[in-house]
Amino acid sequence: MQGMSERQYAAHVRLSRGAIQKAKAAERLVLYPDGSINAAASDARRAETTDPSKTRKPPEPKLKPVPEAAVAAVGDTLREQGLAVPAVGGGTTFLQAKTANEVLKAQERRIRLQKLKGELIERARALSLVFRLAREVRDAWVNWPARAAALMAADLGVEPAVMQKALEKHVRAHLDELAEVRPDFR
């Protein structure tokens, strides 16, 4: 066989075997005496006789650009797990992205399991509990001078009303200082 078979030539020009058979029947291909296809001559003849507006070009794969935030998240996840992170602008491989995805899924399952076991609570509930506890502590401190002033006044031999007033003044000043502290719940 001097040239290519129909199948080989179809693969060469990325067409179906049926399209090659039609071109052969329409004499748009150059054949050797043994019936095989002369690829170079057939390519030239097909280019001359084919209307470019009627040719189908193989669709180019449409790859959507990946947002930088997603690439950064993949890098962060890989870094947290002690795995290799691509250089900035070096591009993340599919394997790295898939590894990061599997790591995140495992972390999510662990968190979900901890919630089911009661080891974790919702952020809003935790904030509510902390706020309520802080309010109860504040209220206990505000009421303390009234309860302790008479006992302390008797021990020190001073007027109970004066002692209570002094205690209230200092407790309120201290509570004002504590009110300036803003917890960071991030």
Chain-centroid distance, C-alpha 116: 24
Question: Residue 88 pLDDT > 60, yes or no?
Answer: no
Token representation of residue 75:
């890098």
- In this predicted model, what pLDDT tens digit does every residue of 95-147 receive, in sequence order? 777 787 888 888 889 888 988 898 888 888 888 998 899 899 999 999 999 88
Q: Compute CA distances 104 → 38, 98, 153, whole Å.
A: 56, 10, 62
pLDDT digits (tens, 9 = 90+) for 9-45: 999 998 899 999 998 998 889 999 998 999 999 999 9
Q: What is the DSSP letter of 117?
A: H
pLDDT, residue 107, reads 85
Q: What are the φ/ψ torsions at residue 4 (nearest 5 degrees)?
A: -100, 155
**What pLDDT is recorded for position 73?**
75
How far apart CA 46 and CA 30 sit, in angstroms, is 9
Mean pLDDT for all residues in the chain: 84
Both tokens assigned to 172: 């309120």
